Amino acid sequence: MQSDKYNFLTVDRVENPKRAVNVRLHDFYEFEEMLPEKERKLQASRCMECGVPFCHWACPVDNIMPEWQAKIVEDDWQAAYDNLSSTNNFPEITGRVCPAPCESGCVAAINDPAVTIKQNELAVAERAFAAGYARPRPPRVRTGKTVAVVGSGPAGLACADLLNKAGHSVTLFEADEEVGGLLRYGIPDFKLDKRVIDRRVNILLEEGLTIKTGVKVGVDVEGGALQADFDAICIAIGARKPRDLPIEGRELDGIHFALDYLGQQNRVNARVEVPPGERISAEGKHVIVIGGGDTGSDCIGTANRQGAKSVTQLEILPQPPTIRPPSEPWPTWPKLYKISDSHQEGCERMFSVATQRFYGEQDRVKGLSGVQVAWEKDENGRYQMHEIPLSGFDLEAELVLLAMGFVHAMHDGLVEQLGVDLDGRGNIAIDEHYMTSVDGVFASGDARRGASLVVWAIRDGRDAAKGIDRYLRSLM
């Protein structure tokens, strides 16, 4: 198939097919399927191969979109994968869960639908695993330097991967029973099959990475012991302190943080035994999800698969626009009204709503009281919220899920033991090389950035690895 530089004008955007709602609601398997190869090449051929590729500018990991998409069209899938993996450690993961800021920066998107960059990326990654291009590439020489990476989410995995490939001896510590962090215990299986993580982890192990799971660093192993045993440490523990809602009735049973709910269901899917008294289930219940982001959407999809009677999502902010507002012009990533696949499976959505109190019977939640709010700019141009008079309402709820995001990294344990400085938001402070205030101790991902996207965590892990490699080589 020959590239046609005008295909973006003549070929329509076609997205991956998805399993029917009435079928996928009965299981937790991935709902997105793959286009045939011929159609995928056509989609890749819509890339304009711009002289100034703003998709590359918009991508946190600097994927070189025009080059590897051209290789798809040329049927050189191995070259496409080599190009893609030169900037992204885990394209098979971002191809599934990244919100694709690259597509917001696509030049074709000025007037027409963007190129299907994310799905093209996934096709390349899956082809690489199927054909054997994705294979172990252990370092030829070891440097003799040792690194402890604490946390096996996307930042920790990316950091450990690059440092291991650079020849350092890396030990990756994970508090949970399996590797992946929020990739494994935060993202539902219907969006990211955990065998995808296992497949990549097996490659990392064959490349010589040491992984220790079920080790709570800061509890089972103290920070000082790590400093004594390793030449450098990278803290990649994420931003695990959830934002709470301290209102009347918060102590009632049936109100849970989203991550506890999602993580438990993923463990159930993995056949981990959960005591009946600890099981969080939406079956036969009216469910309210507080928080309008992706985590809230994941809770909706999970609740519907568990057999919820109804699902309502509350968001304190106004409903976003459906088209780019003047304040968010191309090629920026606009905050638009999105209907996720989970929303399509059944959900009522309410915007500009503040929750005022929970109420219940016999110590168990039965509902909540809320009020409509309005947002207006003050004299300094900052939005202020105020309640709309006589707009109060009650909603029935036997399960409430708090999906309002995260505040910062957990400070107790490792962070306090190492004595690293924090920034004004409670995140770990770093310098331009990702080193903290303590010599030889680095931080990356949400632990230093605050809660963000998987793709930003990968970028942070890669950048931290460069800083750590620079530091270790200065010791040689």
Convert the pLDDT of each residue in 227-256 to its tens digit. Answer: 999 999 999 999 999 999 999 999 999 999
Could you tell me the pLDDT band of residue 43, with boundaries at 50, 70 and 90? very high
Domain containing 100 equals: 7-131
Arithmetic mean of pLDDT, 67-83: 97
Least reliable range by pLDDT among 92-101, 340-349, 380-389: 380-389
Could you tell me the pLDDT band of residue 431, with boundaries at 50, 70 and 90? very high
Is residue 434 left, alpha or beta, with left meaning phi > 0 and alpha meaning psi from -120 to 50?
left
Would residue 140 count as lying in a domain?
no
| 260 and 218 part of one domain | no
Would residue 373 count as lying in a domain?
yes
| 399 and 414 part of one domain | no
Would residue 138 count as lying in a domain?
no
The per-residue pLDDT for 303 is 98
Could you tell me the pLDDT band of residue 379, with boundaries at 50, 70 and 90? confident
| 116 and 34 part of one domain | yes
| 249 and 205 part of one domain | no
**Mean pLDDT value across the chain:** 96
| 312 and 284 part of one domain | yes
Convert the pLDDT of each residue in 282-295 to its tens digit. Answer: 999 999 999 999 99
Q: In CATH, what number is assigned to the domain containing residue 18?
A: 1.10.1060.10
Report whether pLDDT(33) > 90.
Answer: yes
d(CA 400, CA 367): 9
The per-residue pLDDT for 170 is 98
Name the percent of the chain lying above pLDDT 70.
99
Convert the pLDDT of each residue in 161-200 to its tens digit. Answer: 999 999 999 999 999 999 999 999 999 999 999 999 999 9
Partner residues linked to 254 by β-bridges: none
Domain boundary among 404, 426, 454: 404
| 327 and 378 part of one domain | yes
| 166 and 225 part of one domain | yes
Would residue 139 count as lying in a domain?
no
Q: In CATH, what number is assigned to the domain containing residue 165?
A: 3.50.50.60
The per-residue pLDDT for 1 is 45
Would residue 141 count as lying in a domain?
no
Number of domains present in the structure of the chain: 3
Return the structure tokens found at 94.
């971002």
| 272 and 180 part of one domain | no
Report whether pLDDT(3) > 60.
Answer: no
Of residues 173, 174, 86, the one with CA closest to residue 128: 86
The per-residue pLDDT for 5 is 67
Domain boundary among 384, 404, 424: 404
The per-residue pLDDT for 36 is 97
| Angle of the 117-131 helix axis to the 65-73 helix axis, nearest 10 | 60
Domain boundary among 388, 404, 420: 404
| 252 and 399 part of one domain | yes
d(CA 227, CA 233): 7
pTM over 0.85: yes
Partner residues linked to 288 by β-bridges: 312, 400
Would residue 67 count as lying in a domain?
yes
| 154 and 96 part of one domain | no
Arithmetic mean of pLDDT, 9-18: 94
The per-residue pLDDT for 2 is 47
Least reliable range by pLDDT among 192-201, 218-227, 320-329: 320-329
Would residue 385 count as lying in a domain?
yes
Would residue 96 count as lying in a domain?
yes
d(CA 408, CA 4): 48
| 249 and 167 part of one domain | no
First to last CA, the chain: 51
| 43 and 113 part of one domain | yes
